[in-house]
Amino acid sequence: MSALSYRTKVNFGVTAVVLLISAFFAVLAWDINPDSDEIIGPRFVPVFIVFLMVALGVLISIIALRQDVAGRQANPDINSIHIEEDFGFRDSNVAHVLAVIGCGIVYVVLFVLFGYFLATLFSFFLILYVFDNRQKRTLFVLPIAGTLIYQFVFMGLMGLHDPDGAIFDLKFLTKWLAL
């Protein structure tokens, strides 16, 4: 594995993370009750997404390995370290990465405590702030508009269940979006 380029190793790492997330989603998808009178039951889409994630994760590694082999065959004497100095996570802003992970954790906690609408609204604001958006109009208008659109699409058009928040929930105000 030491003969692999840095880029290929990074892509293998991405595949590993995608497969790990897919395994987590698979466990959650299998908890969905498959009983339904419909041809395609409630478990179908989540399981389909899991299989699609696994396939695309594996595809990332296959393409990376093929490119690695092709690159070494085309230029067997070239030192790939100099070519790939700017690739990957070496110069990543770890604070931003951790902040995005933190936003995801905050979203899950807020979802449980305050329901979908407030969690989405606050998390939308938070992620804009994390990515250094400081324009007041964007920080306030975009989360409200985006959350209303998400509520309409997911709860209204798609008819997804909007679970109650444990502490407070705005469903009494947002039910008009659920046609």
**pLDDT tens readout for residues 34-77:** 776 676 777 888 888 899 999 999 999 999 899 888 876 776 65
Determine the average pLDDT of the residues in 113-139.
91
On whether both 66 and 84 belong to a single domain, the answer is yes
Q: State which residues form the domain around 159.
A: 92-179
- Which 8-state DSSP code applies to residue 87? S
C-beta of residue 105 within 8 angstroms of C-beta of residue 113? no
Do 153 and 174 share a domain, yes or no?
yes
| Low-confidence winner among 22-26, 75-79, 134-138 (lowest mean pLDDT) | 75-79
pTM: 0.58
Q: Same domain, yes or no, for 4 and 73?
A: yes
CB atoms within 10 A of CB 101: 10
Q: Is 54 found in the same domain as 108?
A: no
Q: Which residue, of 74, 91, 108, is where some domain finishes?
A: 91
Q: Please check whether residues 2 and 82 belong to one and the same domain.
A: yes
Q: What are phi and psi of 96, to 5 degrees?
A: -65, -40
| 74 & 104 share domain | no
Q: What is the DSSP string of 51-67?
A: HHHHHHHHHHHHHHHHH
**pLDDT tens for residues 76-125?**
655 554 555 556 566 667 788 888 889 999 999 999 899 888 999 999 99
Q: Into how many domains does the chain fold?
A: 2
Last residue of a domain, one of 91, 118, 150: 91
Give yes or no: residues 86 and 8 share one domain: yes
Same domain, 123 and 135: yes
Q: Which of 91, 124, 141 represents a domain boundary (last residue)?
A: 91
- 81 with 99, same domain: the answer is no
How far apart are the C-alpha atoms of 77 and 155, rounded to whole Å?
A: 58
Kindly state whether residues 100 and 177 are assigned to the same domain: yes
CA distance 173 to 165: 13
Residue 22: the pLDDT is: 92
Statement to judge: residues 80 and 102 lie in one domain: no
Do 37 and 119 fall within a single domain? no
